[in-house]
Structure 1
Amino acid sequence: MTEANRPEDNQFDNADYGSTIDESRSSAIEESNVLDERSDEDRVSSWLSITGRLALLAAIFLFLLQGSNKPTATTNPQSNHNLHQVKMLGKVKRSPSDTPFVFSQRVDHLDDSNQDTFQQRYYRKSEFFKGPGHPIFLINGGEGAMNEGLFYPFVDTFLAKKFGAYVLHPEHRFYGQSQPVDALLLTHDDLKKYHTARQAMLDFITIVKTYQEKLGCSPHKHSKHYCPVISVGGSYPGFLSAVMRLHYPDTIDIGYASSAPLLLYSMDADQWGYMEKVTKVTDSARPGCAEAVRQTLAEVHEAILASDDYVQFAHEKLNVCPGTLPVYIHSNDLLSKEAMMIVEYTFADMNMGFYPPDDTTDLVFTCDRIFQNETMDSFGKIQEFWKHLEDNIDTTLPCFDMSSQMPDGPRATISGSDWSGVGPGYDGMMFDFHCCSTLTPALGFSHKSMFPYRKWTLEWLTEHCLDRFDVVPDPLKLVHEFKFDDLVGQGASRILFTNGMNDIWSEGSYLESLSDSIIAINMPNGAHHSELYYMNEDGIDTDDVMQAHDDIADVLEGWLKEIKKKMVH
């Protein structure tokens, strides 16, 4: 199909439910083919005016403030951040695919009497689409705001070009700008009803089916104009990708699930394995670093427990800024647990970002400059670690703002429902609920890990979730609903699992092929769905990841040929 005949995004009509609303400035894109370099805050979040921000802050304290008079921790919510910022292939200028659009989505797909809608943010890329008969890549959004545009170059550029595909990347409901319920009116019941994996999957199904129609794709799989759908996701969205292929095969033709922790969500993973993996990878990155971390944290932990005044100790020894120690911390033991948790989930973040596994990574930097630095004692190392965190958050403070690590909302705690980190701010609050309600990641710190021993228990999680969201965790609800613990028995097919073996989530994923059409590809040097962020041409990939790129493309191509053989009329 020529460029002149290709269906263009701005030809789509707008309707009410299911409409695609064009927020781009098409004329400006046509003139320069590049958007200006304003920040995401200015470009994407213009609706969050000062008034909107104040309303959101007010909502945080209104929502969930039901039935409890317990003191609320002092918070200083920050925007989403990651200690290890993933390299973005040197994007310097904005492109049309970085432009956000909104889709008019149903608030409740499971109740026909509820006709309320909300605006779901998404991104799209038509550059390589060759028209009806060619595939659509549906990249599932996950547990965070999508402010950066498309961010999986292996899919939206390499694979899309190879297969002549259209690319859609919708934001997950309740994250970023995709809010089904006004924050001022949000209740626990709303979250329980609308903030579910099922509702999110139906969002994604709805948007891709709408685009199949708008792109002129036939709804019939035997038509030569049918557009096969390849669902893609990394981590929790990878889980969604596999489950969508299992439960919505009429729409999803192939599932590509990278770093997808299905075994974690079915409660079949070893709770100790995750942080033991962090320890092992840390020691491989810098031999002796894990032991240096272990000794540092053990000494600080014991000193906190022995202190006469934990508040004074936090200020004087840990350099925590006065007024930023969360008020729920009321004992030496709790101060130690929360201080240790910050170190623990930060190392988990650095583990996930340990690609390529070389000296440029944040993990190696932290080992070299902090924990293996013999010029500092244990308290100096912790204080330097805080500074490294602040460098990624706020460089103006002479001390550590401990509240910066907290999610939003009343009764928030640094130790959230996911001990690998729920994240700060509003998105952190939403993921905290999500893990409380259904995801239930069981992650503990064993004696073999480099962190102080702390066993994960359902009792602790239940107390946290009842106090925070008035919800009782049901660890088996997800697997009972979707039966993803027996993919072969459920008749699943055309699902591809990929795993970076340096990634903690490989401990909860399928590492072996389950059948001829449920395939696993492992990358010894890979990290957390790192193959999605890079392409073979970027010059930094390890040999195993480059080979995985070729193998992934071959698997998808084989399955697309299998589908195409049935597209006969």
Structure 2
Amino acid sequence: MSLLLKFAISILLVFLSNTIEIESVEQIYSLETRYIEVPVDHFSALPSPKYFKLRYLINSKYHVRGGPVFVYTGNDGDISIFAQNTGFMYDIAPVFNALLVFIEHRYYGQSLPFGNSTFSSPDNMQYLTSTQALADFAFVIEHLKKSFFENVISYDTHPFVAFGGSYGGMLAAWLRMKYPYSVIGAISSSAPMFYFPGMTSCELFYDKVTQVFEKYGHDQCVKTIKLGWDVIINLSKTKLGMDFISTTWKLCGKLKNSEDTEMLLNWLGNIYVNIALTNYHYPTDFYTPLPAYPVKVFCDKLTTSYFNDTKGLIEHFSHALEIYTNYTGKRVCNNINSSIDDYTEFAWDYQQCTELVMPKCSTDADMFITKPWDFEKYSMNCFKKFGVKTFEPDWAVIAYGGKNLRHYSNIVFSNGMMDPYSCGGVTGNMSASIWAFNISDAPHHIDLRNSDVADNNYVFSARAFHIQAIKQWLNMV
């Protein structure tokens, strides 16, 4: 059975579990779930185009007739996750009498163009692109304009403001750039706009992850992590060693060969990245339940007690990794090939293979295994996995303008300076109305999250900057 067919079989169960989860989200955040029929292909001239139901969530609790609409441009995941983790929009909605709308990205959550068969073939997946998603957002916004502004005095541009973080931040900015009549401005947080071939050096991402571990952990933590790679590789050369790692780290399936070891190393590296991205100063459950400052907690557990051999080090890693893999104590085992079970990760991998190629390489200077960027190898792996070719490296420059943003307007780019993706972010003003706000000591899109008593002045300042920009766009100042 092919990998694509395995996804087709699993979609229905995931869909039903998501539906159950959404009910509680609606209650907590006063969200109403709606669906709208959108074209599978917005750019086809063929007759009888196919449509599918795109999901979006609405909060009208603070809305007053004629007030603006704040639109979150959905990321690579179930839209309910981002509706729960974008508290800034709820915080400022009463100030503006705003309607809140969270639009799901096609191929994620419940917005599956071909239902249970969405991931069954390359033909069905070909419409998973940022350009199609942007057209979805514009389509929904036009519908909302008719619904909420039909009898209101007309505007040259209706008062819609886009919000987004990470990939969603890129989409918010691109929506303003590609469809400037849809939104009058965009708050784009932690958006790696320049993280494409030829624009950002491939080693900078892992350099920044290492800096986060050095700052919030300590030097010994980074040294132990670097030591761990060789220990894992050497121990995995024998069956006994692979069995020991599999049992100690509670893997769902035992390591059997070098390919499994490579998968384990990639899984471990992704954990380090995710801990760095979500190194918030309070407990969160964005990717997974985590304590405050998870990098520090991980490093403390890894280095505060003594080990005298390689197996002892593996046991230390197991204990420390539970901060990420099993913080709640409810997980039975760890699946190192999560993409097999998670079609969200599968869909995002597809996008990174086709249009959103973001080169990452590691060197001796960082805490990861030294690995150069090899576009040809990357492209071959993508073809092997999805049966599709990788776009040309400079596709993003052609499609979205690369670093030439000065011709656009009304976008705020914010970046946490302890966010690994800030290395590819817009960190300086690009024009009179393309602004950058850099947040010291901050992780990934913290300014879009709920206000917290532990927020520092830099986060407060970023949010105040956003509010002032929105007021300016809405002619309120």
Distance of 1:217 and 1:152 partners within structure 2 = 31
Partner residue of 1:177?
110
The structural deviation recorded for 1:386 is 5.1
1:121-140 matched pairs, under 5 angstroms? 121-132=55-66, 134-140=67-73
- Quote how far apart the aligned CAs of 1:160 are: 1.8
Q: Which amino acid aligns with 1:347?
A: Y
Corresponding residue for residue 237 of structure 1: 168
2:464 is aligned, of 532, 535, 550, to 550
Aligned CA distance change for structure 1 residues 125 and 335 (closer, same or farther; 3 Å): same
Query: 1 CA distance for matches of 2:198 and 2:154?
Result: 36
SS, match of residue 79 in structure 2 = coil
Q: Deviations over 1:439-483 (max 9, x none)?
A: 011112221111221122112211211101111212222321222
Please state how far the C-alpha of 1:92 moved relative to its aligned partner. Answer: 9.7
Find 2:266's aligned residue among 341, 344, 368: 341
The structure with the largest helix share of the pair is 2
- Identify which range, 311-320 or 475-484, moves more after superposition: 311-320
Which position in structure 2 is the counterpart of 1:260? Answer: 191
* AA aligned opposite 1:216: F
Q: Is 1:460 equivalent to 2:377 in the alignment?
A: yes
Q: What is the rounded CA distance, in whole Å, between the counterparts of 1:92 and 1:62 in structure 2? A: 29
Structure 2 equivalent of residue 366 of structure 1: 298
Q: What's the CA shift for 1:402?
A: 3.8
Matches within 5 A, 1:115-514: 115-132=49-66, 134-148=67-81, 150-184=83-117, 186-192=120-126, 194-217=127-150, 222=155, 227-265=158-196, 267-288=198-219, 289-304=221-236, 307=237, 309=238, 311-319=239-247, 324-325=253-254, 330-331=257-258, 334-356=259-281, 360-375=292-307, 377-385=312-320, 387-391=322-326, 395=330, 397=332, 400-403=333-336, 405-408=337-340, 425-474=342-391, 475-488=393-406, 491-514=407-430
- Written as runs of structure 1 = structure 2, the 5 A alignment for 1:6-17 is none
For 1:96 and 1:151, the matched residues in 2 are separated by 7
SS at match of 1:350: helix
- Mark the CA change 1:466 to 1:228 in structure 2 (over 3 Å): closer, same or farther: same
CA contact (8 A) 2:301 2:320 kept: no
Normalized against structure 1, the TM-score is what? 0.73
- Mapped partners of 2:61, 2:335: distance in 1: 45
**Whole-Å separation in 2 of the counterparts to 1:454 and 1:172:** 32
Q: Whole-Å Cα distance in 2 between the matches of residues 324 and 548 of structure 1? A: 45
1:13-52 maps to which residues of 2 (within 5 A)?
none
State the partner residue of 1:87. Answer: none
Contact 1:263–1:510 (CA under 8 A) maintained in structure 2 = yes
C-alpha contact 1:168 1:208 (8 A) present in aligned 2: no
Alpha-carbon distance in 1 for matches of 2:331, 2:457: 41
Q: Structure 2: how far apart are the matches of 1:292 and 1:516?
A: 47
- Alpha carbons of 1:322 and 1:158: their partners in 2 closer, same or farther (altered >3 Å)? closer
Runs of 5+ in structure 1 lacking a partner?
A: 1-56, 66-74, 81-90, 409-423
> Counterpart of 1:543 in structure 2: which amino acid?
N
Shift of 1:428: 1.1
How many angstroms apart in 2 are the aligned matches of 1:455 and 1:220? 57
Give the conservation status (yes or no) of the 8 Å contact 2:77–2:344.
Answer: yes
Give the structure 2 partner of residue 61 of structure 1.
5
Match 1:101 to one of 25, 34, 42: 34
Q: Does structure 1 conserve the Cα–Cα contact (< 8 Å) formed by 2:235 and 2:242?
A: no
Residue 117 of structure 2: SS of its match in structure 1? coil
What are structure 2's unaligned runs of at least 5 residues?
16-23, 284-290
- CA apart distance, 1:176: 1.1
Cα distance, 1:401–1:286 mapped onto 2, change above 3 Å: closer
In structure 2, relative to structure 1, the CA distance for the partners of 1:468 and 1:513 (3 Å cut) is same
Q: Distance in 2 between matches of 1:293 and 1:143?
A: 29
- Per-residue Cα deviation, 1:98-147 (whole angstroms, up to 9, x for no partner): 34322222212112424322111211111222222x32111011111134
Number of equivalences:
453
TM (norm. structure 2) is 0.86
8 A contact 1:294–1:450 mirrored in 2: yes
Calculate percent identity across the aligned residue pairs. Answer: 21
3-state SS in 2 of match to 1:94 = helix
- The residue type paired with residue 465 of structure 2 is D
Q: 1:183 to 1:130 in 2, by over 3 A?
A: same
SS in 2 for 1:295: helix
* Alpha carbons 2:55, 2:104 under 8 Å: kept: yes
Deviations 1:501-531 (A, max 9, x none): 1100101101111111000001012111011
CA distance in 1 between counterparts of 2:250 and 2:29 reads 43
Find the residue that maps to 1:100 and give its secondary structure: strand
Cα distance in 2 between the residues matched to 1:163 and 1:461: 46
Bigger mean CA deviation after superposition, 541-550 or 141-150:
141-150
